[in-house]
Amino acid sequence: MSSEVQGILAPHGIGYRIKLLSQLSGRKFQERLDPFGLTPFHWVVLCCLWQEDGLATSVLGDRLQQVGGTLTGVLDRMAERNLIRRTRDAHDRRVWRIWLTDEGRKLQDTLPPIAIELREVALQGISYADRDRLSQLLDRMLINRQRFTLPISEKSLGSIELDVTESRRGWQEILAPYSLGYRIKLLAQLLTRTFQENLEPIGLTPFHWIVLCCLWQEDGLATSNISDQLQQVGGTLTGVLDRMAERNLIRRERDSHDRRVWRIWLTDAGQELSQVLPPIALKVMQETMQGISASEQEQFSQWINESSENLT
């Protein structure tokens, strides 16, 4: 493999590391929300309503869908907690609008400081000037992914790019959809969806890709080594290896020195995919980084690494 192709293989590729940072920040934020009985999806809804109360459910649904969530159950749980109330639109009875209750408004004094604290943990050691620059790079990557895949409307993504600078003037910079955390999550989701679409004709998933990347770089790994890479980005080994064995992409063998350990080896078919899949991943990342210089990509990559290390 060329050095360019090797550079996009998990776990060192920028796509994997963006996904990893998104997973790490999501887990850490969930830990801080647990005492309140809330989730990051509830946070997104609250952020939207703190900025504009009485939004239509379609607007809130779009925000959740962008980062892989659905409105089903989220609003029910919040209504049960007396954080929101639903009313029909006065001019269009087909439209439901969501309003904050007094309890929902009170959380505006409690939750944003928690988000600020987590942001400062993640960005420790990164100057404010670098944060602004890296935020701009992130917006350009989001625009690029929109241009090639159009997963969300041009209006919604354009508003993110235009409003981020304005929102930095106040505390709203830590609210979805303007916060770095939300936009990192959005970029990770867009990359995953795009790559999944490219893998579907081959009958594979991004989790299969991670296993193959590990084995292309070091064949015969123990299952525990591969499992760690999957767990970091929210996957499990259950079913993944079975599917790959059925496709004759891998074979399992017990370790010759420790019979408790299973090792995973590539078959010829699995090895042949090293000529097929990396160019697909490379194309996705080249699209995402279009118009971004090599030095800017290196800077962004360094920021991703520093933030992940801070959260770890």
User: Using H for helix, E for strand and C for coil, what is the string for 189-245?
Assistant: HHHHHHHHHHHHHHCCCHHHHHHHHHHHHCCCEEHHHHHHHHHHCCCCCCCHHHHHH
| SS3 at position 309 | helix
Mean pLDDT of all residues in 126-146: 95
Task: Give tens-digit pLDDT for 203-215.
Answer: 999 999 999 999 9
State the Cα–Cα distance between residues 79 and 174, nearest whole angstrom: 24
Provide long-range contacts, Cβ within 8 A and 24+ apart, for 91-98.
95/56, 95/57, 95/58, 96/56, 96/57, 97/54, 97/55, 97/56, 97/57, 98/45, 98/49, 98/54, 98/55, 98/56, 98/57, 98/60
Asked if pLDDT for residue 189 goes beyond 90, the answer is yes
**pTM (predicted TM-score):** 0.89
**pLDDT band with cut points at 50, 70 and 90 for residue 170:** low
Position of tokens 């409307």? 153
Residue 172: CA atoms inside 13 Å, Cβ hemisphere, count? Answer: 17
Which H or E run contains 97?
strand 96-100
**pLDDT band with cut points at 50, 70 and 90 for residue 310:** very high
Asked if pLDDT for residue 154 goes beyond 60, the answer is no
Position of tokens 């019979």? 259
Asked if pLDDT for residue 216 goes beyond 50, the answer is yes
| SS3 at position 299 | helix
What are the distances in angstroms from CA 107 to CA 71, 82, 111, 305? 20, 12, 6, 32
The mean pLDDT value of the chain amounts to 91
Mean pLDDT of all residues in 253-258: 96
- What is the pLDDT, as a whole number, of residue 129? 95
> How far does CA 208 lie from the centroid of its chain?
18
Helix, strand, coil share of the chain (percent; to 5) = 65, 10, 25
Task: Give tens-digit pLDDT for 223-254.
Answer: 999 999 999 998 889 899 999 999 999 999 99
- What is the pLDDT, as a whole number, of residue 44? 95
State the Cα–Cα distance between residues 310 and 312, nearest whole angstrom: 5
Mean pLDDT of all residues in 161-170: 42
Mean pLDDT of all residues in 99-109: 97
The dihedral over CA atoms of 100, 105, 111, 115, expressed in degrees to the nearest 10, equals 70
Task: Give tens-digit pLDDT for 51-78.
Answer: 999 999 999 999 898 898 889 899 999 9
Residue type, 131: R
